Structure 1
Amino acid sequence: MSVLAGARVLDPDTGETTRADVRLDGDRIAEVGPALDGDPRVDCSGGLLIPGLIDCHVHVAFPRPEPLPRSARILEAVPVLRGLLARGITTVRDAWGADAGFKHALRSGWITGPDLLVSLRQLGPTGGLGDSWEPPAGAVDHFGDPSLPDPLFDGPDAARAAVRRMVRAGADWIKVGASGAMRAVRDGVDVRPTDDELAALVDEARRCGRDVLAHAHTSAAVVSAARAGARSVEHGTFLDDSAVAALSDAWYVPTLSPISTGEFADTHRRSLRLAAEAGVRIAAGSDLAPRPHVDLTTELRLLASVLGDAAALKAATSEAARLLRLDDDRGRVEPGLRADLVLLDGPDLDVTDISGRVRAVWHDGNRVRSS
C-alpha cells in the first residue's frame, strides 16, 4: 500500500484543504488522515492533492474540416487522449465523434488516456445540427463510419428509433441537438426538435438506461431540453430567467472555451453568472473540438474568472461526477473511491495555469505522470 504523504488535500464540495496523507490500495483510496503508515511513501510535501479532473464535454475524435481518410480522425485521438491524462484529466464524456472502439482500446491497454464515456453522434431532426447536408454539395457524411449510426429523426417514433441505434452501437449517453450550431442561431435558420420529439427521445433513453445531454445555445432550446428531462444542457450561451428556472432539475455545462473571445463571449459569461446566482448545478466541459485544441485546463481558468477557483474545481471534480452518476466512485478524495488523483505544486487553489502546476497524476492507483 503506497502512501502519498505531506500534501494538503482538497475537499471540492467545501473548497477547504486539510493536511493529510492518502493511502492507496490497488485502484482505491484506502485511508485519508494524518501520519499514515505504508510503503512506498511518495513525498508530496508543499503540494495540493485534488481528485482526478473530469471533463464532461470533449470531442477526442471530431472530424477535421479538410477531407482526410477516416483513419486520420482515429489516429489523431491517440495523442489527444494521452495528453489529457498527463494533464490530470482522468475521466471524460465524449459529446460526438468517438465510437465504442475507443473504449475497447483504452481498456485493452492499446492506447492510454482517461476513462471514456461516449455518445457517438449528435441526434437531431432533418436540417438540424446532426444533419450533414451541406449546400450546394448535398449530403456529406464527415464520419462515413458504420460504428457511428445515422443520427437523424423526424417525429417522436423516429426519435425513439435513433436512440435505439445509438444504444445498439454502444453509446453510454444520448446527445441531442436541441438547437442548431452558433452559426445557424446567428443566421436565424435554427432547426430544432419539437417538444414531442424531445420528450420521446428522453423517455426512450431512460427506458434504455441512458441519460441525455442536450446541445442548446438559445433560451428557448434550453427550456425545451430541460423540460423534456435532459440531465445536462451544454453551452447555454443566451440564458435568460426562464431558461435558468428550467435548469432547476438539470446540470449546466457552459463550455466557455470555444467562444471565450468574440461577439458572444461577454453574453456567455453573463449567462454563467445568472445560472450560478440562481443555484444551478454547474459541471465543467471544455468542448475540445475546435483546433488548436483547448481542454479542461483552459476551461477551469475561464470558469474561475466568473465563479472563483474553488467553484471551478468543484465543477470539474465532485459536481462533474454527480452529473455523470459516478459520484459513488470518483470525484472526491475519500476512502473507497477510485484512486484518481492529481498532485499540484503549491497548496493554493489557483487554476490560472493548472497544467503548469501538475507534479504527478494517478489513474486507477497507477502513477501515470511525474514531473
Structure 2
Amino acid sequence: MRLVRLPQGTRVTVLAGARVFDPDTGETTRADVRLDGDRIAEVGPGLDGGERVDCSGGLLIPGLVDCHVHVAFPRTEPLPRSARILEAVPVLRGLLARGITTVRDAWGADAGFKHALREGWLTGPDLLVSLRQLGPTGGLGDSWEPPAGAVDTFGDPSLPDPLFDGPDAARAAVRRMVRAGADWIKIGAGGAMASIRAGVDVRPADDELLAVVEEARRCGRDVMAHAHTAAAVVSAARAGARSIEHGTFLDDSAVAAMADAWYVPTLSPISDSEFAETHRRSLRLAVEAGIRIAAGSDLAPRPHVDLATELRLLAAVLGDAAALKAATSEAARLLRLDDDRGRLEPGLRADLVLLDGPDLDVTDLPGRIRAVWHDGERVSEAS
C-alpha cells in the first residue's frame, strides 16, 4: 500500500460498514475506507482513526464522472451574456450534490469557470473545458442563421472563433483554444441532428481533421469528436480522435474504425425520439466489438438531463455494473485521470458517493444518495 506523509492537522475520516464497489471487476466487498485529507489512505476491514462515519447498509462507489456536459450552454432566446454564466451556478451545484465529482464540458464553459471553482466562488465538480466546437464554414460550430447571417451568441474573447477552412486554419483554431485555456479540443466531425434530418451535413475534410488532431497532440491536448453518422465517425476515428461523441448511426465500418477510441454515446437527449432504438443498436454493436464505453449525459437540453438518466439508459444495454464502470474507472481512463480518480484505492482522490442499499441498481441513483465526498470533504445538502 502506498504511504502518504500527512501535513499536520490533516483531517482523517473512516467510512465504516459499507460494501465497496470495484468498477473494474464489477464486484462489491465489505470494507472500510479511510480518508486522509483529500486522498484515500486505506481500504479494508476494521480500520481505525479520526472521525468515524457509519455507512452500514450502504454501498460506496467512486465519485461519478460525466464526460460530456454543457454547464453553460447558450440559450436560443436573446439574453445578456451574464445569464449563461449565472445559470451555470445551480447546475454545477446540483451536479456535485448528485455525486458527479468530475465533468468534461463539451462547449460553453470557459477557463473562468475553472478559476471560480478553484477559488471557491462556485461549488461544483472538477471541470475540464473545451471552450467551443471547432468546425469548417457551415459546419456545427458556425453560428449562422439565414437570413440574419452570422449570429455569435458568445461574442467573448474567452471563447475564441472556432471556424476554419483548410489544414493550416484548423491548426490555428486549435492554438486559439489552447491559448484560451482549453483542456480538450472538440471538433464537429459532422453536423447536428437537425442538419442530418434536413439532409445537410457539412463535415471537415479528412486533412483538416488530421491537422486538428496532430496540432492538439503537439499542444498536449486530446480531441473529442461530435459525430452522429457512420461516415463522420470513420473520419474522426481514423484521424485519431480519442473519443467519439454520440455515434447515433454506427455501422460495422464505424465500429472497426473506433478500435482505438472511446465511445461516449450520450443516449439521454434522444431517448424519446424516432432514433432512440437506432442509437441503442449502435451501442450494442460497439459493445459487441469490444469498444471502450465512457458515460456522458450531453447535459444541454432544458430541462436538464444528467448522468443519472444516462446511467439508467446505459444499464438497459450494458447492465448496472458496466454502466457504473463507464461513469467511474473507464471515464477516468478516457480523461487520462485514472492515476488520480475513478476507483476506490489508496493514493487516489477521496471522491466517493454513499448509496442506500448494497446493490448496484442505477434505476434511481439520486434517490439512493446518502452522502457525497469531494476532495475528502463531505458535500452538504446546501452546497
Do the two structures share a fold, i.e. TM-score over 0.5?
yes
**1:370: how far off?**
6.0
SS at match of 1:261: coil
- Alignment partner of 1:61 is 2:79: no
Taking a change above 3 Å as real, the CA distance of residues 21 and 370 of structure 1, as seen in their structure-2 partners, is: farther
Query: Which position in structure 2 is the counterpart of 1:30?
Result: 41
Q: State the AA in 1 paired with 2:241.
A: A
**1:141: how far off?**
0.4
Equivalents in 1 of 2:273, 2:375: separation in Å?
40
**1:83: how far off?**
0.2
Query: Which position in structure 2 is the counterpart of 1:328?
Result: 339
Q: Are the counterparts in 2 of residues 320 and 331 from structure 1 also a CA contact under 8 Å?
A: yes
Deviation digits for residues 77-135 of structure 1 (CA, Å, limit 9, x no counterpart)? 00000000000000000000000000000000001000000000000000000000111
Equivalents in 1 of 2:128, 2:63: separation in Å?
15
Taking a change above 3 Å as real, the CA distance of residues 134 and 245 of structure 1, as seen in their structure-2 partners, is: same
Query: Which position in structure 2 is the counterpart of 1:278?
Result: 289
**Aligned partner (choices 47, 50, 66) of residue 39 of structure 1:** 50
Query: Which position in structure 2 is the counterpart of 1:139?
Result: 150
Equivalents in 2 of 1:198, 1:66: separation in Å?
32
SS at match of 2:277: helix
- Alignment partner of 1:159 is 2:170: yes
**TM alignment of 1:185-334, pairs within 5 A:** 185-334=196-345
Query: Which position in structure 1 is the counterpart of 2:7?
Result: none
Structure 2 gaps, min length 5: 1-11
**1:144: how far off?**
1.4
Q: What root-mean-square deviation, in Å, do the aligned CA atoms of Structure 1 and Structure 2 show?
A: 0.8
Q: Are the counterparts in 2 of residues 361 and 370 from structure 1 also a CA contact under 8 Å?
A: no
Deviation digits for residues 64-83 of structure 1 (CA, Å, limit 9, x no counterpart)? 11110000000000000000
Identical columns (%)? 89
Query: Which position in structure 2 is the counterpart of 1:176?
Result: 187
SS at match of 1:348: coil
**1:143: how far off?**
1.1
**1:369: how far off?**
3.3
Task: Give the TM-score of the pair, scaled to structure 1.
Answer: 0.99
Equivalents in 2 of 1:83, 1:354: separation in Å?
14
Task: Give the TM-score of the pair, scaled to structure 2.
Answer: 0.96
SS at match of 1:123: strand
Number of residue pairs matched by the alignment: 371
Q: State the AA in 2 paired with 1:334.
A: E
Q: State the AA in 2 paired with 1:295.
A: D
Query: Which position in structure 2 is the counterpart of 1:70?
Result: 81
**1:185: how far off?**
1.0
- Alignment partner of 1:92 is 2:103: yes
